[in-house]
Amino acid sequence: MASPLASPASTGPPPPPRWPLALSRLLFRPSDASASPHPPCLLLNPAADPSPDPRCLGLIRSGAWHCSPPRVPVLGYIRTGPPFVLVISGLRVGSFGSVYKGTMMSNDQEVVVAVKVLNLQQRGASQSFGAECETLRCARLRNLVKILTVCSSIDSSGLDFKAIIFDFLPNGNLDQLLHQHPSEHGNQTGVDLVQRINIAIDVASALEYLHQYRPAPIVHCDLKPSNILLDNDMVAHVGDFGLARFVDHDQNSLPDISSGWATRRGTIGYAALEYGLGNEVSIYGDTYSFGVLLLEIFTGKRPTDADIVQDLGLHRYVQITLRDHQVASVIDEQLLLSVQDGENKGRASNGSSSSSTREVMIVAYIASILHIGIRCSEEVPTDRLLICDALRELQGVDDKYRVHLRIGGR
């Protein structure tokens, strides 16, 4: 039997869409993979369209659509009826397709967007498309990514083509922020403590909304740093709902959109332990993933890092340091540097507490957050905190932190 953490199972034709999808024609041909550092993508090929729309071609030829960054070659365009979408550069490869950066016109304004093009040769990609559209059609929250439009059609070769167009969030994903050197991300100081707490609260808020959604709770099933995107204000948005499920209140059965189409239930290191045994998805699985995520945010260590695996996992690794009162040894070095930098800047203006007292206080607050991560990622599902309780505790830590250290809100 295939592992639920490996690849989706073959399940026959995808279910019919539950809501009308905008139809369009595909005006692309495959590229030569060797000509670009990005994976095989889509190149502009007006000749493939028997009746190209002069408005779209005119915009391209006149340069009225300016690529960002400058001189990035246009890879192609999707015609969904007004507005058109230009794909201008590749961003990343996901489980079921590739994500590109593009532009579209909205109310006579050029808007930067992210375009997720499904790789329909990948087993489960069509079902992933349906799950993502259905979930985000129903769910509306600031801390979830926003779908602008979708495209479901056939290309010039008669093959199926599906794409989802989202708001573009310029600060990338959390995995990049945590694990790239700050200068690689255009940030010289990294992600500071306040930002990390805010991101954790944003993600918990999104999960609380999904788990309390009616008529049926929604389980994300693939929560991890690369699926958390950040906007200009560093507000976190949970994305990639390709594995999402709606669950009944008793969490024992699933509606048609999510039953039987895939056995895949997350990513190794972040997926709940019971999923590896083939157990049904539940809100407790998301809570486990959130607990691991919380530990990673404040330790800077991935659950799949070689040294962590040898030490029996991130949960156990952090648990031992908390037990032995060695919290400072497990905190992300970049976070400690940002705290020390804040100390140096704040000494003159904050005479109410010494540098050492302030640092001890900060370590104590981080320890409180790590304890929440430990309780969310317990081995037994029913021993885990509910996400609403984890959110309330995080907000309590945040409030206390701001009061004692005299830091303002967002």
Q: Give the pLDDT mean for 215-244.
A: 94
Q: What is the dihedral of CA 308, 310, 315, 319, to 10 degrees?
A: -100
Q: CB atoms < 10 A from the CB of 354, how many?
A: 12
Q: Angle at Cα 345 formed by Cα 356 and Cα 170, nearest 5°?
A: 115
Measured CA to CA in angstroms, residue 156 lies from 24, 48, 188, 242 at distances of 12, 6, 46, 26
User: 3.40.50.300, 3.40.109.40, 3.30.200.20, 3.20.20.70: which CATH number matches 25-167?
Assistant: 3.30.200.20
Question: What is the rounded CA–CA span in Å between residue 207 and residue 86?
Answer: 32
Question: What is the rounded CA–CA span in Å between residue 24 and residue 235?
Answer: 33
Is residue 229 within 8 Å of residue 172, measured between CB atoms? yes
Question: What is the rounded CA–CA span in Å between residue 385 and residue 389?
Answer: 6
Q: Give the pLDDT mean for 185-190.
A: 58
Choice among 222, 240, 286, 332 that is catalytic: 222
Question: What is the rounded CA–CA span in Å between residue 290 and residue 270?
Answer: 8
Is residue 270 within 8 Å of residue 304, measured between CB atoms? no
Mean pLDDT over each residue of the chain, to the nearest integer: 74
Is residue 208 within 8 Å of residue 290, measured between CB atoms? no
Domain boundaries, the chain: 25-167, 174-405
Question: What is the rounded CA–CA span in Å between residue 44 and residue 79?
Answer: 12
pLDDT tier, 250 (very low <50, low <70, confident <90, very high otherwise): very low
Q: Give the pLDDT mean for 139-167.
A: 83
Min mean pLDDT across 12-16, 197-201, 212-216 is at 12-16
Tell me if residue 222 is catalytic: yes
Measured CA to CA in angstroms, residue 160 lies from 25, 41, 81, 117, 372 at distances of 10, 15, 18, 11, 45
Q: Angle at Cα 180 formed by Cα 177 and Cα 183, nearest 5°?
A: 95
The residues near 319 (Cβ < 8 Å, ≥ 6 apart) are 374
Report the CATH architecture of 174-405: Orthogonal Bundle (1.10)
Is residue 269 within 8 Å of residue 304, measured between CB atoms? yes
Question: What is the rounded CA–CA span in Å between residue 374 and residue 36?
Answer: 43
Q: How far apart are the first and last CA of the chain?
A: 48
Q: Does the structure show a pLDDT above 80 at 382? A: yes
Written as one string, the DSSP assignment of 320-384 is HHHHTT-GGGTS-HHHHHHHHHHHHHHTTT--SS-HHHHHHHHHHHHHHHHHHHHHHT-SSGGGS
Rg (CA), the chain: 23
pLDDT tier, 191 (very low <50, low <70, confident <90, very high otherwise): confident
For position 187, what pLDDT does the model report? 56
For position 306, what pLDDT does the model report? 86
Task: State if pTM tops 0.85.
Answer: no
Min mean pLDDT across 41-55, 81-95, 286-300 is at 41-55
Q: How many helices and strands, by DSSP H and E, does the chain display?
A: 10, 13
Q: How does 121-157 read in b/e, with b if 16+ C-beta sit within 10 Å?
A: eebbbbbbbbbbbbbbeebebebbbebbbbbbbebbe
Question: What is the rounded CA–CA span in Å between residue 234 and residue 106?
Answer: 24
pLDDT tier, 84 (very low <50, low <70, confident <90, very high otherwise): low
